[in-house]
Amino acid sequence: MNPELPPEDADISVESVASPLSTRRLIKADLRIVEPMQMEASFQYRLMVKGTGQEVIYPKRYQIESYFIFPAQMRISPSSYPIESFYRDLKSYINFRIPKLSFKEIMGYTENIERSPLKKMRDELLSPTRKNGEKLLFLQQEGRVFACSFHTFINRKIRRFTRQIDRIKRLRSASSAEQDVADRQAEAIFYENFRKIMEVFREWQKLLQLSQGLGPEILQQMRAVDEYLVHNLHDYILQVERQFYDVRVPKHAGENWRQQIKVALRCLRIYSKLQKYQWVDDQSGELDLERYFFHRGTLKRQMWSALYLDTRTKQLFKFQQQVGAMLAAGFAGLWAVSADFIIRLNTGQWGLSSSSLGASTFLLITALTMAYIMKDRIKELGRGYLKGGLIGDMPDNSSKILYQSSGSGEPLHVGYHEEKVSYIDPNKIPEDVQALMKKVPNERWEQEPHTIICYRKRVDLQGKRIRHLKRKIRAIYTFYRLNVSNFLAPLDLPYEELLVPTRQLQATSRLFPKVYHIDLILRLKATVGAKEEDTLYQYWRLVINKAGLKRIDLIPLGEAEEQASLDYDSIEEDPLSSMDTLASPRPLR
């Protein structure tokens, strides 16, 4: 008799982790190094969340303020590094978070069968109503959504198995009875996961067979999804196989596990070659590895594009952007006309002839030239003043967030997205950010000048409209990547040689790493209805040298300020699962 299995991620309820609605429950933030010249800050915003009862709450607005604090050695200033340069170095992206479907939801074994992309695709393949062009778009979109869901489904199975393996490692010094129970649970998890994954893949194979006679374009799209699924199966099998080298494998199950994994990997290799998919191993040449990795990346982008969100600049915002420039040009023009009128009126020269040329004419030309020069300066200075003063809150970019779903002509309007970048006087930053800077020990605040750039991103959401998609989409994912190469030119070499004593108190030399710190304070806000929730903070330190980013440190803050450790990626919940009494949503235009 098999022991009871540990609960999966889907069994964890949100209320047991964080009942009160707060910003820490609505936003998840993280930073990482993409490459030595690029850092990435990612944010996940909840589209909906379950309240205290059965109600579903739709957050209205999220605002993220990123305060970059540069040291004096980098010589960052509005003249050496204008706002336009920051935008050139910054790449911002936005998309839906991948739907996290359980095994039953993927297979269509639940009451909400419309959430199953496999069920939708089967109905479409068997339906003769749509034309091939419409059918192609529908199958392409749903197939890619299924591929993304399969990816997260496999990753959850890997995490579950890894947690059990880690438990076995911790029990190495425990009693043999406890070890035996953990071993048997790991064995049960392995077989259960493998059975579910293969059942999903076999169901997909049935759909692939149904698409054989629907034309080459549809078959090509289905084969692209199939190859991506094969890549995910390949990764799952190899990651599970690697676990056997990191932990003691139970004697009664070790051979069975290894044999099953080898058989699965051998079948996958045969299938890949029959379908003419690329396959690599430890004997593959460098060119084959390069082609495989390039093709794998292309497939991944194709699949994930089904969740990309489009942004279109609002028509009114294009006019609003020019308001400051138009007002400045108007003031400059008024000055030029007034100066010309006053000069001519005072000199009495409204018309010129050869007999009137003289010293007064020279003075008139000089005065008109100076007036024209001052007009240009008034225009430029007025544009900067109006944008930073009277209309300083106007964002640099403002756009609609749109999503083109399958089977829908018009894109779905999800919300709005705004961003703004500005230099901030260190003495004029918000008081709460100042208090946070003083709380974190840093001697350079008092001894050295520093430059602060604030990048503000605001996202207004219309979460109720997502229900029209009939998909388990519960969050929007945004991230920006910042290229730091323009900050490195003034920096010294990454190492400096200094003398140090040995343990025997003799002189020797060592290379000392020479680094600089860019501090980044994240200010996170969420608005639900008319109420703005509590503000949360994260304090990060980018450790950088002449060669680029070396590491990123998270500076610990007090419990009240720091971002909560709740990772709602590990929580598989459905706020609408108990909303059966609600009417089906109608399409929103």
Q: Is the pLDDT of residue 266 over 80?
A: yes
Residue 227 and residue 336 in one domain: no
Residue 88 and residue 107 in one domain: no
- State the pLDDT at residue 4: 40
Contacts of the segment 508-515: beta carbons below 8 A, 24+ positions apart: 513/545, 513/550, 514/545, 514/546, 515/543, 515/544, 515/545, 515/550
Question: In angstroms, what CA-CA distances link 303 with 91, 145, 148, 198?
Answer: 21, 7, 7, 20
Closest alpha carbon to 107 in 11, 188, 206, 192:
206
- State the pLDDT at residue 574: 42
Residue 267 and residue 323 in one domain: no
Residue 556 and residue 435 in one domain: yes
Question: In angstroms, what CA-CA distances link 348 with 333, 341, 366?
Answer: 22, 10, 16
Helix or strand run (H / E) with residue 147: helix 132-170
* CA dist., res. 541 & res. 139, Å (int): 45
User: For the chain, what percent of residues have pLDDT higher than 90?
Assistant: 28
Q: Is the distance from CB of 83 to CB of 421 less than 8 angstroms?
A: yes
Question: Average pLDDT in the 11-16 region?
Answer: 29
Rg (Cα) of the chain, in Å, rounded? 31
Tens of pLDDT, residues 33-61: 999 999 999 998 888 877 776 778 888 88
Domain tally for the chain?
3
Q: Is the pLDDT of residue 508 over 70?
A: yes
418 or 54: whose pLDDT is higher?
Answer: 418
Question: Average pLDDT in the 525-535 region?
Answer: 79
Q: Is 50 part of any domain?
A: yes
Structure tokens of 205?
Answer: 């194979």
Q: Is the distance from CB of 417 to CB of 399 less than 8 angstroms?
A: yes
Tens of pLDDT, residues 193-223: 888 999 999 999 999 998 888 888 888 999 9
- Rounded to two decimals, what is the model's pTM? 0.73
Residue 481 confidence class, pLDDT cut points 50, 70, 90: very high
Domain boundary among 331, 364, 390: 390
| Strands (E) located in 240-374 | 310-313
Least confident of 266-275, 430-439, 546-555: 430-439
Residue 131 and residue 89 in one domain: no
Q: Is the pLDDT of residue 319 over 50?
A: no
Helix and strand counts by DSSP (H, E) for the chain: 14, 17
Residue 296 and residue 281 in one domain: yes
| Arithmetic mean of pLDDT over the chain | 77
Q: Is the pLDDT of residue 345 over 70?
A: no
- State the pLDDT at residue 218: 87
Do strands 450-461 and 61-71 pair parallel, antiparallel, or not at all (unpaired)? antiparallel
Q: Is 287 part of any domain?
A: yes
* CA dist., res. 248 & res. 174, Å (int): 13
The residues near 455 (Cβ < 8 Å, ≥ 6 apart) are: 65, 66, 68, 86, 90, 419, 420, 421, 480
Q: Is the pLDDT of residue 95 over 50?
A: yes
Q: Is 576 part of any domain?
A: no
Q: Is the pLDDT of residue 329 over 70?
A: no
Residue 462 and residue 536 in one domain: yes
- State the pLDDT at residue 14: 29
Domain boundary among 284, 307, 330: 307
Residue 123 domain boundaries? 103-307
* CA dist., res. 141 & res. 137, Å (int): 6
φ/ψ (deg, to 5) at 4:
-65, 135
Q: Is the pLDDT of residue 288 over 70?
A: yes
Q: Is 585 part of any domain?
A: no
Residue 499 and residue 382 in one domain: no
- State the pLDDT at residue 185: 77
- State the pLDDT at residue 523: 92
Least confident of 7-11, 66-70, 248-252: 7-11
Structure tokens of 444?
Answer: 């350079």
Helix or strand run (H / E) with residue 342: helix 323-347
Angle, helix 132-170 to helix 216-243, in steps of 10 degrees = 0
Least confident of 26-40, 47-61, 240-254, 517-531: 240-254
341 or 521: whose pLDDT is higher?
Answer: 521
Q: Is 578 part of any domain?
A: no
Residue 323 and residue 217 in one domain: no
Question: Average pLDDT in the 462-471 region?
Answer: 77
Residue 404 confidence class, pLDDT cut points 50, 70, 90: confident
- State the pLDDT at residue 15: 30
Q: Is the distance from CB of 3 to CB of 498 less than 8 angstroms?
A: no
Q: Is 291 part of any domain?
A: yes
Q: Is 350 part of any domain?
A: yes
- State the pLDDT at residue 550: 93
Q: Is 66 part of any domain?
A: yes
Domain boundary among 282, 307, 332: 307
Q: Is the pLDDT of residue 109 over 60?
A: yes
Residue 562 confidence class, pLDDT cut points 50, 70, 90: low
Structure tokens of 294?
Answer: 């390039």
Residue 112 and residue 186 in one domain: yes
Residue 180 and residue 119 in one domain: yes
Which range in 261-265, 401-405, 443-447 is most confidently predicted, on average pLDDT?
Answer: 261-265
Residue 446 confidence class, pLDDT cut points 50, 70, 90: low
Question: Average pLDDT in the 165-186 region?
Answer: 72
Q: Is the pLDDT of residue 429 over 80?
A: yes
CA angle 388/391/396 to nearest 5° reads: 75
Residue 439 and residue 532 in one domain: yes
